[in-house]
Amino acid sequence: MPNKIPLTKPFFNEFELEELKKVLESGWVAGQGPKNKELEKEFAEYIGIGHTVCNTNCTTALHLSLLVLGIKKGDEVIVPDYTFPATAHAVLYAGATPVFVDIDPKTFNIDTNKIEEKITSKTKAIMPVHTFGQCAEMDEILKIAKKNNLFVIEDAACAVGSKYKEKFAGSFGDMSCFSFHARKNITSGEGGMIASNNPKLIEDARSMSCFGIESAYARENKFQVPQFVKLGYNYKLSDIAASIVLVQLKRSEQYVKKRNELAEYYNNKLKEISTITVPFVEKHNRHAYQSYIVLLDKKINRNDLIVKLGEKGIQTQIGTYSLHRQPVYQGITDCEEKNFPNSSFVFDHSLALPMYYEMSFDDIDRVVDTLKEVLKE
């Protein structure tokens, strides 16, 4: 069998190694240290927002964002039904209830026409997801939020480098959350970031991510016995991880450009297969293509296709999850199948094809040729 083409593959080189060496030699490898501070500054400048704070991952970032906005038991948060469960899990962690909304079947993002019918007196926030790197319709979401006095928390886990009407994802909401997981465009294996233009929210999140106190690095040149006023968490990002993300962030535009080139090549090659629909991109969006997701004709058994492609050395995967069909949410919120037809269809028929920085057009040729071969079987 020829070499396997992986679903994803992070790209590192000597620059990450050099930064890692500096951190290890510095002696400060824990969280909220100098590399965290440097990353927070550069990330804020990159997306065009006032303040940021590093976190262990996007899930903890979402959790803290909900907490510092005062979301609690008895509250409801609007969440798209088609997303990784971390989005709704974070709402449950805060003690609130996720309220699912069906998606636009073209963009895979929350259907803004269906949000207001889910708003009640208990609703406190909307949590749009920029699915796979394509921004949700933020103008309409912000309009709905303002009309109903709701917070907006952007789940931008997949959207470092994405743009909506020339503005970066994560620069619209009251708070926004990013991921540096291994499948993301820039990565340290694990990691996350909270961003906001409200400095008070960020400082609250910073304290809550360090057990509810000021970090040791901030107290390094003064003696102060900390007081634990709030029940905080250990959600700090290590300086080791921050140093890697710093290097990756410098290449973000390069990564997005290459992924768009790969996506365009995929789109042209896949036109030859009538049973596959390529990703739709809104004209006012810049898609970051954290993943390249196609839709299969309903006659194709997606799961069988994943197995057959894997046997031929092509690693693929489902897109993401239809939350109302996950057992963990049954009995907690509305999970009636009839209310989420688009999410259900996309969940059953989406396929993630290989997409990574070092991928070549020849690799795509092999993926598409193998798809054609398997679909004829």
Determine, yes or no, domain membership for 2.
no
Neighbours of 139 (CB within 10 A): 13
pLDDT value of position 218: 60
Let me know whether 85 and 214 are in one domain: yes
Beta strands 175-179 and 192-196 are antiparallel
Determine, yes or no, domain membership for 269.
yes
Let me know whether 92 and 240 are in one domain: yes
Domain count, the chain: 2
Dump strand ranges (E) for the chain: 51-55, 76-80, 97-101, 123-126, 151-155, 163-164, 167-168, 175-179, 192-196, 276-277, 285-286, 292-296, 350-353
- Residue numbers of the chain with a pLDDT score lower than 50: none
SS3 at position 130: coil
pLDDT value of position 114: 98
Let me know whether 172 and 320 are in one domain: no
Percent of the chain that is helix, strand, coil (3-state, to 5):
40, 15, 45
Last residue of a domain, one of 250, 281, 305: 250
Let me know whether 274 and 327 are in one domain: yes
Query: Is the distance from CB of 194 to CB of 176 less than 8 angstroms?
Result: yes
pLDDT value of position 308: 97
DSSP 192-227: EEEEES-HHHHHHHHHHTBTTS--TTTTTTS-----
pLDDT value of position 222: 72
Distance of alpha carbon 235 from alpha carbon 43, whole angstroms: 18
Residue 75: both structure tokens together = 């509250």
CATH number for the domain including 204? 3.40.640.10
Neighbours of 251 (CB within 10 A): 16
pLDDT value of position 1: 58
Let me know whether 181 and 79 are in one domain: yes
CATH number for the domain including 305? 3.90.1150.10
Residue 215: both structure tokens together = 């970090």
Query: Is the distance from CB of 55 to CB of 238 less than 8 angstroms?
Result: no
Domain of 356, in residue numbers: 252-376
Residue 148: both structure tokens together = 């109903």
Determine, yes or no, domain membership for 4.
no
Distance of alpha carbon 343 from alpha carbon 325, whole angstroms: 10
Let me know whether 257 and 345 are in one domain: yes
CA angle (135, 173, 121) in 5-degree steps: 110
SS3 at position 54: strand
pLDDT value of position 226: 80
- Angle in degrees, 0-180, between the axes of helices 239-250 and 14-26, rounded to the nearest 10: 150
What is the tens place of the pLDDT at every residue in 185-202? 999 999 999 999 999 999
Let me know whether 281 and 188 are in one domain: no
Determine, yes or no, domain membership for 9.
no
How far is CA 89 from each of CA 166, 193, 215, 261, 273, rounded to the nearest angstrom?
Answer: 31, 17, 27, 34, 37
Let me know whether 317 and 363 are in one domain: yes
Which one, of 283, 286, 213, lies nearest residue 253 by Cα?
286
Distance of alpha carbon 359 from alpha carbon 267, whole angstroms: 15
pLDDT value of position 214: 74
pLDDT value of position 338: 98
The b/e string for 184-194 (b: 16+ C-beta within 10 A; e otherwise) is bbbbbebbbbb
Query: Is the distance from CB of 133 to CB of 292 less than 8 angstroms?
Result: no
What is the tally of helices (H) and strands (E) in the chain? 11, 13
pLDDT value of position 217: 59
- Residues 6 or more apart whose Cβ sits within 8 Å of residue 203: none
Neighbours of 91 (CB within 10 A): 26
Let me know whether 24 and 83 are in one domain: yes
DSSP 268-330: HHHTT-TTEEPPP--TTEE---SSEEEEE-TTS-HHHHHHHHHHTTB--B----BGGGSGGGT
Beta-ladder partners of 98: 77
Let me know whether 219 and 329 are in one domain: no
What is the tens place of the pLDDT at every residue in 161-185? 999 999 999 999 999 999 999 999 9
pLDDT value of position 228: 87
Determine, yes or no, domain membership for 7.
no
Which one, of 108, 184, 119, lies nearest residue 147 by Cα?
119
What is the tens place of the pLDDT at every residue in 235-263? 999 999 999 999 999 999 999 999 999 99
Which one, of 318, 313, 279, lies nearest residue 302 by Cα?
318
Let me know whether 242 and 258 are in one domain: no
Measure CA of the first residue to CA of the last residue in the chain; give whole Å.
19
Let me know whether 101 and 164 are in one domain: yes
Determine, yes or no, domain membership for 319.
yes
